[in-house]
Amino acid sequence: MSAPLQEDPSPGNERSTRTGPGRFQDVVEAALTLFAERGYLGTSMKDIAGLLGLRAPSLYNHVDSKQELLREIMVRTMNELLNSHRAVIATSADVVEQLRRAMETHVIYHANNPRDVRIGNAEIQNLEEPVHGEILRMRDEYSASWQSIIERGVREGRFDSPSPRLSSFAMLEMGIGVSMWFRPGGPLTVAQLGYYYGDMALRLVNAAPAAVGRAGAAMAGVVIPAQVDVHRS
């Protein structure tokens, strides 16, 4: 997603030409849009080529197969999400702050990358092995990290949850939902969105600071981690 537009100029890169509209990342970008809109099976190589002003067979100068495009999108997305998550929970030892920041990062990522996230959640069954299994393992790791944060908070007496597993599922899921309706330029900024959802996460485990105030409440002290970039195409 955030890869530079110019291709790696090293001579070992034999998959892409150096110029023109058909470079690998451009094909991925077109696939990202179309897979998200119509689904993997609902998108043909002809469609992707059309978005780039090409004929379908020309894509195979840059891409091994349609499956490779799905693989690239899913692996990259899950890596970005996991890395952002790991980085942000390392910024505090306080479990309340960890949960709040994890939710902010989670929601901001989903708001900024709706196409990737939609594909990631809708097309798992169309991903072939071994990547299919790898993605499932990464999702498990992500989910397990959330659960362990909540479990630790309960152990430390900071959280109240009848089931850390259910609490973590609820938090993850409500954040994923953001990718389905959030549009930049609306009444809410991405940062505000993150703040509200961070607050909701704390409420879910009864760790919320008293009341949060009305919509538009000041957001002093909110830290948007640097790892989460806010651009989108």
| Cβ neighbour number for residue 219 with a 10 Å cutoff | 13
Nearest C-alpha neighbor of 127 from the set 111, 112, 143, 138: 138
Instruction: Pick one of 163, 209, 226, 230: the residue that binds a second copy (CB under 8 A).
Output: 163
**Chain residues 103-162 in contact with DNA, contact rule CB under 7 A:** none
Nearest C-alpha neighbor of 106 from the set 166, 158, 170: 170
In this complex, which beta carbon is closest to DNA, that of residue 47 or of residue 151? 47
- Pick the piece of the chain touching DNA (CB under 7 A) from 51-59, 78-86, 168-176, 188-196: 51-59
Instruction: Pick one of 62, 71, 85, 110: the residue that binds DNA (CB under 7 A).
Output: 62
Under the criterion CB under 7 A, does residue 175 sit at the interface with DNA?
no
Q: Which amino acid is at 204?
A: L
d(CA 48, CA 27): 7
In this complex, which beta carbon is closest to a second copy, that of residue 137 or of residue 203? 203
Under the criterion CB under 7 A, does residue 17 sit at the interface with DNA?
yes
**Contact partner, 137, from DNA, a second copy, none, Cβ < 5-8 Å per class:** none
Let me know: does 113 contact 179? Beta carbons within 8 Å.
Answer: yes
- Pick the piece of the chain touching a second copy (CB under 8 A) from 11-19, 51-59, 70-78, 120-128: 120-128
By CB under 7 A, the count of residues binding DNA is: 22
- Pick the piece of the chain touching a second copy (CB under 8 A) from 9-17, 58-66, 82-90, 178-186: 178-186
- Pick the piece of the chain touching DNA (CB under 7 A) from 45-53, 71-79, 183-191, 198-206: 45-53
Buried b (16+ CB within 10 A) or exposed e, 63-74: beebebbbbbbb
Under the criterion CB under 8 A, does residue 113 sit at the interface with a second copy?
no
Q: Residue 149: phi, psi to the nearest 5?
A: -60, -45
By CB under 8 A, the count of residues binding a second copy is: 39
Under the criterion CB under 8 A, does residue 209 sit at the interface with a second copy?
no
Let me know: does 123 contact 39? Beta carbons within 8 Å.
Answer: yes
Buried b (16+ CB within 10 A) or exposed e, 154-176: beeebbebeebeebbebbbebbb
- Pick the piece of the chain touching DNA (CB under 7 A) from 3-11, 57-65, 82-90, 221-229: 57-65
What does the binding site for a second copy look like in residue numbers (CB under 8 A)?
37-39, 41-42, 122, 125-126, 160, 162-163, 166-167, 169-174, 176-178, 180-181, 193, 196-197, 199-200, 203-204, 206, 208, 211-215, 217
